[in-house]
Homo-oligomer: A and B are copies of this chain.
């Protein structure tokens, strides 16, 4: 009768993981489920709790850290009965959270340096503020979509360097950004900053995140107020949210923040980075393996920075790490870097590639060490590029 497996799971979805998501069946509404191996436990049915019968995780996340832990502690028992379970193949998965504010950071030194070298080859690759604060900006929360959602090639203005005026049309430099996303559970109050030590109390969990980017649109628009339409058409996140409690074995030291030292509100004690491996898969071939442990800024620092001016965080707020790139050529988390601004094509399945083509499918996969000794598979992020809808304009 028991359907509980051992903690160590070759699938990455064993009892040591138990990520949450929103699912529906043909005969029922969207509700909260938890994944074990290739099954989904209907938590609304299994617990009878109203906050788990909702179309997003938000009401549950808003209950706070103790409630998260209490439910997690009860899951082996609930799963052990074998009741209220569906085969993963029989359910439809949805966007897991109702997104409040979406903030995207720029926390990889290797990524920021690469971008600097590509666009400003004669200058210092990092801008003066970069090592003093985690640079970030607000993205569009209304276009955060679930893994699997078709990505329609955006149209917009772009101007060639030697052109006198911009032209309008489909983006010719459509790109990915392989990122990790963090989801706020417990809200904060206006005027009360969240310290780096309070990160665990406010953060519910982690998602995979692909911050689709139209580099040509972005290049023309972004001075002086930052990226807007070059990013706002779509941001994909995984169906599954890995609770922070499942990542206890993944914490690792940051690469180092000695020169310069950070200001007090950005200080962290102990391991503040995460040893999460990422794979970027383009049309079935792994083209890059960005290592999250190489990120300069930690998630706790991003949260502390976001709120140090007194701004609140709300349940459902999402922040992205920014593109994850390691030091190696095969550790770059964007096609901009992999093709060095489009000038050095790379080979996928025997073809030379730079930016995304219509019909391309991109999958981001994430794994993390487990307390059980194996590895967790975090929720993957899939997106296929559909042609621009030129006829509509």
Chain A positions near chain B (C-beta within 8 angstroms): 100-101, 103, 106, 127, 129, 132-133, 135-143, 145, 152, 154-157, 159, 165-166, 168, 190-193, 214, 217, 220-230, 232-234, 260, 263-265, 305-306, 308-314, 317, 389, 392-393
Residue in chain B with minimal CB distance to A220: B129
Contacting residues, chain B, for A305 (C-beta < 8 A) = 229
Residue in chain B with minimal CB distance to A184: B142
Residue in chain B with minimal CB distance to A143: B311
Contacting residues, chain B, for A263 (C-beta < 8 A) = 157, 166, 168
Report the minimal beta-carbon distance from A76 to chain B, rounded to whole angstroms: 36
Contact of A191 among B135, B142, B152, B264 (CB under 8 A): B152
- CB-based contact A106/B225 at 8 Å: yes
Q: A101-B140, A138-B137, A165-B260 are in contact. Are A389 and B221 (CB under 8 A)?
A: no
Residue in chain B with minimal CB distance to A165: B260
Instruction: Count this chain's copies in the assembly.
Output: 2
- CB-based contact A226/B224 at 8 Å: yes
Complex Cα spacing A192 to B233, Å: 11
Contact of A132 among B143, B155, B165, B222 (CB under 8 A): B165
- CB-based contact A143/B193 at 8 Å: no
Q: A166-B132, A223-B127 are in contact. Are A229 and B106 (CB under 8 A)?
A: no
- CB-based contact A156/B217 at 8 Å: no
Contacting residues, chain B, for A392 (C-beta < 8 A) = 191-193
Report the minimal beta-carbon distance from A341 to chain B, rounded to whole angstroms: 16
Contact of A233 among B142, B155, B226, B310 (CB under 8 A): B310
Contacting residues, chain B, for A135 (C-beta < 8 A) = 221, 224-225, 228
Report the minimal beta-carbon distance from A184 to chain B, rounded to whole angstroms: 10
Complex Cα spacing A228 to B138, Å: 7
- CB-based contact A232/B138 at 8 Å: yes
Residue of A133, A234, A309, A312 with most partner-chain B CB within 10 A? A309
Contacting residues, chain B, for A309 (C-beta < 8 A) = 154-156, 214, 217, 229-230, 232-233
Can you identify 9 A-B contacts, CB atoms within 8 angstroms? Answer: A133-B166, A133-B221, A137-B225, A138-B139, A168-B263, A192-B392, A229-B306, A234-B310, A308-B393
Complex Cα spacing A183 to B327, Å: 45
- CB-based contact A310/B155 at 8 Å: yes
Contacting residues, chain B, for A101 (C-beta < 8 A) = 140-142
- CB-based contact B226/A227 at 8 Å: yes
Contacting residues, chain B, for A226 (C-beta < 8 A) = 137, 222, 224-227
- CB-based contact B308/A141 at 8 Å: no
Report the minimal beta-carbon distance from A151 to chain B, rounded to whole angstroms: 9
Contact of A100 among B127, B137, B141, B311 (CB under 8 A): B141
Contacting residues, chain B, for A155 (C-beta < 8 A) = 193, 308-310
Contact of A168 among B145, B264, B306, B393 (CB under 8 A): B264
Residue in chain B with minimal CB distance to A120: B224
Complex Cα spacing A344 to B205, Å: 50
Report the minimal beta-carbon distance from A253 to chain B, rounded to whole angstroms: 24
User: Can you list the 3 inter-chain pairs with the closest CB atoms, starting with the nearest?
Assistant: A226-B226, A154-B309, A138-B138
List 5 additional A-B contacts (Cβ < 8 Å) besides A155-B309, A165-B260. Answer: A129-B166, A133-B220, A135-B221, A136-B225, A137-B227
